[in-house]
Structure 1
Amino acid sequence: MSRSLTLSTHASITDIPAAEWDGFGDGNPFTSHRFLAALEASGSVGRGTGWQPLHLSVSDGESILGVAPLYAKSHSQGEYIFDHAWAEAFQRAGGSYYPKLQCAVPFTPATGARLLSHDPQARQALLAGMTQVAGRGGASGVHVTFCTEEEAALGEEAGFLPRITQQFHWLNREYGSYDDFLGALSSRKRKAIRKERARAQAFGGRITHLTGDDLKPAHWDAFWDFYQDTGSRKWGSPYLTREFFDCIHQTMRDDILLVLAEDDGTPIAGALNFLGPDAVYGRYWGCVEDHAFLHFELCYHQAIDHAIAHGLARVEAGAQGEHKLARGYEPVPIHSLHWVQDEGFLRALADYLDRERDAMGQEIEALADWTPFRKGAVS
């Protein structure tokens, strides 16, 4: 028998107790209360950013049964599953694409659960609730990005349109060492990676891994300089504020791996990773000196080193980047869900996404042929 459930919206993650929110999670650092709270407390999201928190909870009148990170968006920046062309087409047709609702983790192209609940009915209610909130608030639609495959199937049943894009992830096939991983590669690729790593590590300094209490305020000062340089070149201006890094230092330093390159004790480059129960998530990189292959070493090879040493299943190294293929990262499908109120535009999107899925499947299959693995070494 179905129950009567109540949907609520929350203008801040702090409206929901951390213990309740995290009780529905699976350990993913990005959907944790502390990560989302850091975004809000630091001003990285909220007024003036185009990411206005509107988190959802569903309850049975006595207790919360599920939650979802939700934002009202006035642009399509910082999402990594792109809908800019949709926005332009919708507006050319005379519609208003913004505001829209985004069920996502801001600025974070990492797969994870978005419908945080142990209750199937509550997850269905969260999806239905998003469309209701869109209708009441005048949003053009709802977009659930970087969700799980299971959630994609649930959303399709609820009338959302599924979309498949792709990323490059490194998959740990129970390697005992980095040399074990290299042993699965073709001889030519294996030699190329060894040569690349040797050149990178010969930059003249040392590479360190910092996590937990080994992280100090001075490390964040250095990384902020790296982040600003990369952000200004890639996005025009960085998405995150300096205060964000202070917040995660206080609440998440045990969930962080900072890979730092130092020359005579001075940090010159760094890669910021977050750690989940089964994955390393590469998020940001930057430098103040250019050295051959140091970017690949800090962001990709060192992350693999950490995953092997700690028995983690995969490395997710962020969006895009076919150059990751040569370093043992493989193409994997990424799932999202989309729904718009305008029925004509919804039909047009459905037709587009049907064709895109076919093309994406062919692209993933073709990219898989370019991985550096020996024939028969992986399945």
Structure 2
Amino acid sequence: MAEIEITLHASFAEIPAQEWDALACPEATSGRPIDPFTTHSFFVALESSGSIGARSGWQARPLLARKDGQAIAAMPMFAKSHSQGEYIFDQAWAQAFERAGGDYYPKLQVAVPFTPATGRRFLTLSGYEAEGTAALISGATQVAEQNNLSSLHITFCTEDEATRGEGMGLLHRITQQYHWHNNGYADFDGFLADLSSRKRKAIRKERQTANGAGLEIKTLTGDDIQPAHWEAFWQFYQDTGARKWGTPYLTRAAFDAFHDTMRNDILLVLAYDGTTPIAGALNFIGRDVLFGRYWGCTADYPCLHFELCYYRAIDWAIANGLQKVEAGAQGDHKLARGYLPVPVHSLHWIANEGFARAVGEYLTAERNAVTEDIDVLTSYGPFRHIQSED
């Protein structure tokens, strides 16, 4: 049988786009990619803009597996010197490991930087799922061992990938996010009809408040997005980034790169006070999912955040036949607005056997707690129960 060759690369740009995308998004030859974040365009936009690289602590080290000269699998891997911009939090692990005298950083991270969105992390050619996954895991752990790195983390992978990886000896972690699901709604009122009367009234009041503020709200995608829109959004993004992370993850050039190569996969929602944009929400469009990513404003208006980030996203998803809206990480306030808790999966490999056992025990307890939380939170959601209050 032919051997599989694993190559480690220093950037995404050195891998031909056609070769990468044949693994990441083969469906894009006949339409929109299922996941815009694993495309060659997205990773190269982050690289070319300086958003990832040595400065950011995200150094690209993508893996490629070939068999008989054909690329059969790839993995977006990074060498990390910190745990920022990941959204699956392991800082407590790092502190414990370092208190015990170890060096947790650098580590290997298989992820989409700054993007808490579930998607494939083992990008395999159809028919090579098991073989390609095994080759990538073997290659990545060998890189970690040969470089004396503490660990490998594969975050926001699919449930199927988590099952396969766990079967190959990786630790399986479950956390949670809030997603909105389209249950065949014809319009926003159809969605509201599924809610309890109290929650339905609350959402209507929030929308009336936001839309009654005298602002004009524009929903833009593709060629309707102009460079001036990005200049405005950059101001919003900087404000939010400074408050949340201290330093924004993306550079200004990243938004220009998105505009040049991905604007057909972007939905930008902007609010104007007269001719001045004062708030905005950035979404990426998948084939079946709308991914909410960034929000910011230069003026505060009641309920405007909910309108731009959540309700306009639902409006657009319904109108365009999308099945889901993923509104990003955390945020219990999303529950009352129709976004229900769902499990999120990741995989982990830790070189030190004793520490790996301790983390494994922790993950078992955490998984049980998260599963219980999801059940409890879902029961408190806004949707009507069997005994309706209407």
How high is the TM-score relative to the length of structure 1? 0.98
Distance in 2 of aligned mates of 1:154 and 1:71:
21
Kindly indicate whether the alpha-carbon contact (under 8 Å) linking 1:185 and 1:377 is maintained by their aligned counterparts in 2.
no
Question: Which residue of structure 1 aligns with residue 23 of structure 2?
Answer: 24
Kindly indicate whether the alpha-carbon contact (under 8 Å) linking 2:2 and 2:68 is maintained by their aligned counterparts in 1.
no
Which stretches in structure 2 are left out of the alignment for 5+ residues? 26-32
Q: 1:19 deviation in Å?
A: 1.2
Q: 1:127 deviation in Å?
A: 1.3
Say whether 1:340 aligns with 2:339: no
Distance in 2 of aligned mates of 1:17 and 1:370:
48
Kindly indicate whether the alpha-carbon contact (under 8 Å) linking 1:128 and 1:158 is maintained by their aligned counterparts in 2.
no
Distance in 1 of aligned mates of 2:76 and 2:387:
40
Aligned-residue RMSD, C-alpha: 1.1
1:48-67, Cα deviation, whole Å (9 max, x unpaired): 21100000000014111111
Q: Secondary structure at the match of 2:24?
A: coil
Q: 1:3 deviation in Å?
A: 3.8
Say whether 1:107 aligns with 2:103: no
State the percentage of identical aligned residues: 59
Match of 1:49 among 36, 45, 56: 56
Kindly indicate whether the alpha-carbon contact (under 8 Å) linking 2:289 and 2:324 is maintained by their aligned counterparts in 1.
yes
Letter in 2 for 1:62: G
Q: 1:25 deviation in Å?
A: 2.2
How high is the TM-score relative to the length of structure 2? 0.95
Q: Which portions of structure 1, spanning 4 or more consecutive aligned residues, are displaced by more than 2 angstroms?
A: none
Question: Which residue of structure 1 aligns with residue 136 of structure 2?
Answer: 126
Q: 1:135 deviation in Å?
A: 0.7
Kindly indicate whether the alpha-carbon contact (under 8 Å) linking 1:184 and 1:377 is maintained by their aligned counterparts in 2.
no
Letter in 1 for 2:62: H
Say whether 1:246 aligns with 2:246: no
Q: 1:377 deviation in Å?
A: 9.8
Matches within 5 A, 1:68-79: 68-79=75-86
Match of 1:169 among 179, 193, 197: 179
Say whether 1:81 aligns with 2:88: yes
Matches within 5 A, 1:1-379: 3-26=2-25, 27=33, 28-117=35-124, 118=126, 119-120=128-129, 121-376=131-386
Letter in 1 for 2:314: I
Letter in 2 for 1:36: F
More moved, 131-140 vs 319-328 = 131-140
Letter in 2 for 1:240: L
Q: Secondary structure at the match of 1:15?
A: coil
Q: Secondary structure at the match of 1:230?
A: helix
Distance in 2 of aligned mates of 1:91 and 1:264:
54
Q: Secondary structure at the match of 1:11?
A: coil
Which stretches in structure 1 are left out of the alignment for 5+ residues? none
Distance in 1 of aligned mates of 2:370 and 2:359:
16
Q: 1:47 deviation in Å?
A: 1.6
Q: 1:98 deviation in Å?
A: 0.4
1:217-245, Cα deviation, whole Å (9 max, x unpaired): 10000000000000000000100000000
Distance in 2 of aligned mates of 1:367 and 1:305:
24
Distance in 2 of aligned mates of 1:43 and 1:61:
35
Q: Secondary structure at the match of 2:234?
A: helix
